[in-house]
Every structure is written in structure tokens, then in C-alpha cells.
Amino acid sequence: MLKFTFGAMNVEILHTALKTIQLEAESISGLANFIDKSFENALETIHHSRGRVVISGIGKSAIVGQKIVATLNSTGTPSLFMHAADAIHGDLGMIQLEDVVMVISKSGESPEIKVLVPLIKNFGNKLIGMVGKTDSYLARESDIILNTTVSQEACPNNLAPTCSTTAQMVMGDTIAVCLMKMNGFTGRDFAKYHPGGNLGKRLYLRVADLYPQNAQPSVFPSSSLKEVIMVISKSRLGTTAVVDENELLKGIITDGDVRRMLESTDDISTVKAKDIFNNNPKTVQPETLAVDALEVLRKFDISQLMVVNEQGKYLGVLHLHDLVREGIL
């Protein structure tokens, strides 16, 4: 293996890197020419199918196919991958009557593809060929063609699949995103398929999942300053709610409110909660998504939200730390 040192050779390598990026970018932009009636037919066929999308391929195209299957499944289009070589040794049993089959190939002439395609057609399934040569065997035998032709590979020898697999990947993403739009796939739908990790939390975690673990500090408007300070200190939330006898939220007092009052008042012996509370607290309901609660905190540059029900009854406190702990922030 050649070892490159800094200098003139390094400039050549950098040029190769930039040329690779340029060629792959061109392979993507060139796909715009293939968003045509055939592409529309492919979308309509998948959208109206009562079966799944079965995707097959060989070599690098098989790896791309697996990625496309993963994307389709996570965005509401049931799909599965069937390796072209395994298909003729039993995996054809994956295909059901109402499934749409998509075969991915750059050349459209691979021996495995030539064996597989007639078998699929004998089953009577719609065949979509994602192919880089529109005069190939796969293109001729497909019911619908998705054209992913590229002018050249980024490989210096124009051999290793690089631009062609990039084009296939982007065409797959384009199909998935369009189907999301056609199916009315929402963020809530996405959450159902992504319940794990920080992404899942951002989509399904609600205020109700967070605030019950916190203390529920509260005082009455008539409570003394000493009581206010003790409640705030005990809760470790930096705040307390001010409620009436029916536990309806009337306001909020933060430790900052107490400090500002102490700085401006000489006689604190008669100070009550009603003298220093903010009667316009920022509130949130339990069913609010945690990520939406975070936006409220950011908008008003605050650390706590009072949690209330639809009637305004005080339920607890959501703190910024709760969102940090869960990885929402």
C-alpha cells in the first residue's frame, strides 16, 4: 500500500477527495431528470398496494436495498429485504400475492437477477426495477422502471460502485419521503416506530412522565415569608406555587423573587406570599410533549413550569433539569 506524505502528493489526494464529492453530488442532482411518470407510477403502485414492498438485489445494491427497507419500515411502509442469491434457494417464500417487488441493480444484467426476475413475474407480482441501464434485461422485464443512471463512478477506474449506489440510496429516500406525504405520516406515527433512544423520547415523552417525581411545593397567598423560603428550600426546585384553598394555581414565587425582595425591603416581618408572587406563571398541562415544554422554557428563558390540569388545578413542577436528565436538551 502506498504511503502519502505532505507535499505535492497530498495536493493530489485532496483533489481526488474533492472530485469524488463533486461526482457523487452530480449523481444525486442528475436524479431530478428521472422524477417522471414512471416514478409517479411506482409511488402509486406502492401506495395502493395492500401488501408489502419486497426489495431485492445483489452485491452493493443489496446493501442499499437493506437500507431502503429500514427507511420504509420506519416511515410507515411495510417492507422486507430478500437477497437475490438466497431468493432462488427458498427465500422466494417471502413474497405474498399482493406484495410489490423492487429489484435494485446498476447493470440490470447480473446472473442472479436474470434467474430471479422470471420467477417473480410467474408469481404475478408487480415488478419495479431500480436500474442504472434502461436497455438492460431488468429494465426490459420490469413493469415500472426507476432510472438511477449515472455518468460515471467516482472510482478512478470507473468500476467500484460509488456514484451509482449513492443515486440508488437517494432514490430510495425520495420514495420513502413521498410515501410519507401520501400516507399522511405524522410525528406521532413516527414515534410509534422509534420508541427508543433520545429520538423516541423527543417524540413520545410527555410532561406527565416527568413532573410526578418532583416535590409539589405550594404555599397560600397568606403564607409568611419564612414559610415561603422553607418550602422553596425543601423542594430543591427553586420555586413554589401559590394556590388557593381549592388548589387552583394563583401564582409562582421563585428564589429569584425572594432575593430581589430582600434587596429592596428593609422590614420583612410582615411580608406575605401575596406581596411577592408572580400572578402570571407559565404553565403546561400533563399531556404536553416534553419537547414542546422545552420550547416554552427557552422562549421565556425560565427554569420551571407549573403543571396544571384543564381546570387550572396545580399538579406539580416541571424543571429544566428533568429535560436535561432525559436527554431532551
Residues 6+ apart with CB under 8 A from 96: 51, 52
Local structure of 310: helix, strand or coil: coil
Which segments are annotated as binding site? Answer: 83
Query: HSE-up of 276 (CA within 13 Å, CB side)?
Result: 28
Q: Distance (Å, rounded) from C-alpha 144 to C-alpha 231?
A: 70
Do the Cβ atoms of 143 and 181 come closer than 8 Å? no
Long-range CB contacts (within 8 A, 24+) of 257-265: 258/225, 258/228, 258/229, 258/232, 261/225
Q: Which residues lie closer than 8 Å to 224 by C-beta, 6 or more apart?
A: 271, 272, 273
Binding-site annotation, residues for Zn(2+): 83
Helix 197-204 to helix 290-300 angle (10° resolution) is: 80
